[in-house]
A and B are shown apart, each in its own frame.
Chain A
Amino acid sequence: QVQVEQSGAEVKKPGTSVKVSCKASASTFSSYAVSWVRQAPGQGLEWMGGIVPISATTKNAPKFQGRVTITADELTSTIYMELSSLTSEDTGVYYCARERGGNPGSSPRDLDYWGQGTLVTVSS
């Protein structure tokens, strides 16, 4: 069974960082890539970046380059997304999602299993 479970809501001050976790099933961690997608309130979906957990290979969207760090912990099958230098524009729901298909990281993919989302609120 595919499991993608995210950490709980966060409230952060501007200028700080947030780290969101995504616990995956062992099969997902070992055989698939995982992406992070965010959604500002009332807005659309925005891809932030992704990781092949088993190799720790990452790819980030240019918009977030230098501000987002995606990592993976093999011992706990958990993927992390850390976003730094937060502003109010970073308020939104952050999703992790499994990238469909094998040979992870070889090409861009669509996203077939999603976590429940983590609300991040940035406010002074």
Chain B
Amino acid sequence: EIVLTQSPATLSLSPGERATLSCRASQSVSSYLAWYQQKPGQAPRLLIYDASNRATGIPARFSGSGSGADFTLTISSLEPEDFAVYYCQQRRNWPLTFGGGTKVEIK
């Protein structure tokens, strides 16, 4: 199965700062990579699919890039509601797999 490694594990930033999250795959997943946001006590929410496409209703400050095995989620200017855990997920092969998550916390 494809293993996804996210870094860093924790990102400490202030509102208004730029956040850059990384996801690396153990083999190429082409562009079949998604990003999710999860807040405590809530289900995950799809942010980005197929590496760079924003899901319905997702603000433009969220953007995704990359292909092959290296991907990035960028939040251009952090809003208070953006502090959460972010997961990447590949759909290149079954089984679907997720990265271990990056927690974006308030500095």
Per DSSP, chain B at the interface is loop
- Asked whether A45 lies within 8 Å of B89 as measured between CB atoms, the reply is yes
- Asked whether A108 lies within 8 Å of B98 as measured between CB atoms, the reply is no
Q: Which of the listed residues A59, A63, A112, A116 has the most CB atoms from chain B within 10 Å of its own CB?
A: A112
- Asked whether A45 lies within 8 Å of B44 as measured between CB atoms, the reply is yes
Interface residues of B in 13-43 (CB under 8 A from A): 32, 34, 36, 43
Chain B residues within 8 Å of chain A by Cβ, number: 25
- Asked whether B97 lies within 8 Å of A47 as measured between CB atoms, the reply is yes
Q: How many A-B residue pairs have CB under 8 A?
A: 61
Of the residues A62, A112, A114, A117, contact of B95 by C-beta under 8 Å: A62
Chain B residue numbers with a CB within 8 Å of A61 are 94-96
Residue A103 CB within 8 A of the other chain: no
Residue B68 CB within 8 A of the other chain: no
Of the residues A44, A47, A112, A117, contact of B96 by C-beta under 8 Å: A47
Contact A100:B94 (CB < 8 A) given known A44-B100, A112-B55, A114-B43: no
